[in-house]
Amino acid sequence: MTAVGGLAAYLAAGQVSAEDEIPDNMGVSINFSAFPWMAQLQEWAGGLQATCLILVGICAVLGTVMFVAGRLSSSQQVQKVSATILLWAFIAGIAIAVIFAVLVWATGFDLGFGSASGMLDPVVA
């Protein structure tokens, strides 16, 4: 039953009229600990993020070393390839950070990189 259908059935049952306030909580709440595998999935998500960021870091270091080697040897082809590697590593790093930040924001999961509840809090000096 959809939310609109549930509301229509609620109104049709005569429990509330259309002029009354509709309660905010209709008895459904999100519980991420309802299944025993949720904690394991949470750990896997944090591990996957860490693995991806480490691989991106390795690519960035290799791209930088290749770029310096290409400059020292005056190889334009190596410089082009290394610049492409650095660009893709930068894009991948941003994509990974954004995807997992949205996941933490939407679910409240703590993926092992600090408190999920305090991520968007302002920094107090």
Per residue in 33-72, pLDDT (tens digit) is 778 887 788 788 888 888 999 999 999 999 999 999 999 9
Mean pLDDT of the chain: 77
In terms of Cα–Cα distance, which of 118, 121, 98, 54 is closest to 110? Answer: 118
Neighbours of 81 (CB within 10 A): 15
Angle among Cα 117, 120, 122 to the nearest 5 degrees reads: 115
Annotated domain spans of the chain: 34-107
Q: Which long-range contacts (CB under 8 A, 24 or more apart) does 32-39 make?
A: 32/107, 32/108, 32/109
Pick from 95, 4, 101, 8: nearest CA to 46: 101
For 62-111, what is each residue's pLDDT tens digit? 999 999 999 999 889 999 999 999 999 999 999 998 888 887 787 776 66
Q: Does position 113 have pLDDT exceeding 70, yes or no? A: no
The whole-number pLDDT of residue 34 equals 77
pTM of the entire predicted model: 0.60
